[in-house]
Structure 1
């Protein structure tokens, strides 16, 4: 085989392996062993590292293109449905060829959150990684959105009747009395905020954390009810509502001041939280290190240096890889 052909085959093989690693690391089921194996793979040569970087860039460019394709397909499918009566279009027919199906997949499940998912793209409001924003909904309702947060508005007769928190974290404030409490829907439950009230709601899948910052807040979840007073918090999910507990408002309000406060949490939880605010991903490849408790404050403006700070505090080995991935071991 000519040298050029051999090099071409080798390059193609490396890119296929890089795609495999990107999918595994962003599957949500990656293990410590996966992280160590990826570190070993990426360190074999500069060609390995470059293949991963190129794969990441390819997926990053593919996301917006795939979203545009899906939007055009929805329009085309709707037009066909209007003209032709019969069985609904199958998923295979809708997605088309395998290549375009793959494009759709990376929109629905974007690796490393390099771009918004499909549900994020069509939401009423969303924030990107590291972004925070304020939304004035009118009717004396103001919503502060934290990083990686997506919300939809529920309306009736063109009036806002509630806020649907699909994921992320919000602080909601009602600045005037209203005939009915404002409702936030998250994780299959409902949070009713009283007049002149203020609360913080965080939704991670089916797990929801609610903190009353001012006034009374009522949680309703699967037939269970809990009432929170100022500086009280509770969680719900998996069919149960946790007990009402005192809340540390300094910690809860920290993100509004662009500060993350950790008080005795394991490092693995700290890293998981930090990953919400910075591009790329920090991976812990040391279980003993991950179990270490952390007492720290991090400014959101210094998260680019957080791996070095963890190295200084705990002696962790820091390995920086392409695509914004950092391995702590």
Structure 2
């Protein structure tokens, strides 16, 4: 690559950084930026260098502020749309971190009414208990979205659209209560209790008491107490034994992580706090960690991670933190 190409790439990266932190960027800008970075490793590297310069000198000294929006839009057209995995998103793709910042401000995370007009929601960081039907109670975790299924004015089930909840079926309930999560349907008997979770296009069912039967693609799988089954677009896993005190520690306002990649830990923590923590160093994101946080520590969790693992933190407006 000749010097002129390197200069153009750096100029584009600087323009992107100015525009994305200007407060005027749209969701479409974020998608265009994601495509620009995903188009080549050189683009992504140029943005990392631009961010480093921004940290060292400050945006006013390092970046040109004039004419940014029109030029940024022009440079992003015609690039291939490369799909990023969740690990790439959290393990080193700076591009995706800023695309996600814009997405968080878009309608896809709005709290408007559900199409059927009946829904239950919790905000980021909020938990609550709800009686959804006679003999059916829910413990809803943070950032959870549930639509209620009715037939003839009677609640017959629910659809977990996003988030996490514990469902308890009273021993006195006679009518069935069907729980939909992702593309699976969960049937249970009176006295059963189970947790369902749906995040990042993957779902899990964890049984606490009684027995639940997961039906997916015409196949039934029984989930017994202290077992968990995970499934996604690639298929359904086998039932595995889990420690309920660890897996469902959020019910006690505690998060426990046992030998998990830091990228996955941060992805989960982001559900409990405003803004977002993004790991921009792949090696840091792949480090296996053992950690325990209380929900009261969410405001300082980025600092705790920084101190524990020697990471460098870049603080952005709105609770966004880049760790490298």
Using structure 1 for the length normalisation, give the TM-score. Answer: 0.70
- Report what 2:13 is aligned to: none
Return the match for 2:149 from 148, 154, 157: 154
The whole-number CA distance in structure 1 between the counterparts of 2:298 and 2:46 is 24
- Report what 1:121 is aligned to: 112
Return the match for 2:30 from 24, 33, 45: 24
Q: Per-residue deviation at 1:312?
A: 1.8
Q: Deviations over 1:199-249 (max 9, x none)?
A: 000012542100001110100001111001111110122152210111210
- Report what 1:234 is aligned to: 229
- Report what 1:198 is aligned to: 193
* SS at structure 2 position matched to 1:142: strand
Q: Per-residue deviation at 1:252?
A: 2.1
* SS at structure 2 position matched to 1:275: helix
Q: Call closer, same or farther: CA 1:290–1:206 in 2, change over 3 Å.
A: closer
2:102 maps to 1:111: yes
Q: Per-residue deviation at 1:324?
A: 1.4
Q: Call closer, same or farther: CA 1:112–1:251 in 2, change over 3 Å.
A: farther
The whole-number CA distance in structure 1 between the counterparts of 2:237 and 2:183 is 15
- Report what 1:39 is aligned to: 51
Structure 1: gaps (5+ residues): 1-12, 53-108
- 8 Å contact 2:25–2:102 — kept in the other structure? no
Structure 2: gaps (5+ residues): 1-16, 39-43, 66-99
Return the match for 2:264 from 269, 290, 294: 269
* SS at structure 2 position matched to 1:195: coil
Q: Call closer, same or farther: CA 1:34–1:326 in 2, change over 3 Å.
A: farther
Q: Per-residue deviation at 1:17?
A: 6.6
* SS at structure 2 position matched to 1:121: coil
Using structure 2 for the length normalisation, give the TM-score. Answer: 0.71
- Report what 2:70 is aligned to: none
Q: Call closer, same or farther: CA 1:237–1:14 in 2, change over 3 Å.
A: closer
Q: Call closer, same or farther: CA 1:162–1:314 in 2, change over 3 Å.
A: same
The whole-number CA distance in structure 2 between the counterparts of 1:196 and 1:189 is 21
The whole-number CA distance in structure 2 between the counterparts of 1:128 and 1:48 is 38
Q: Per-residue deviation at 1:154?
A: 0.5
Q: Call closer, same or farther: CA 1:296–1:16 in 2, change over 3 Å.
A: closer
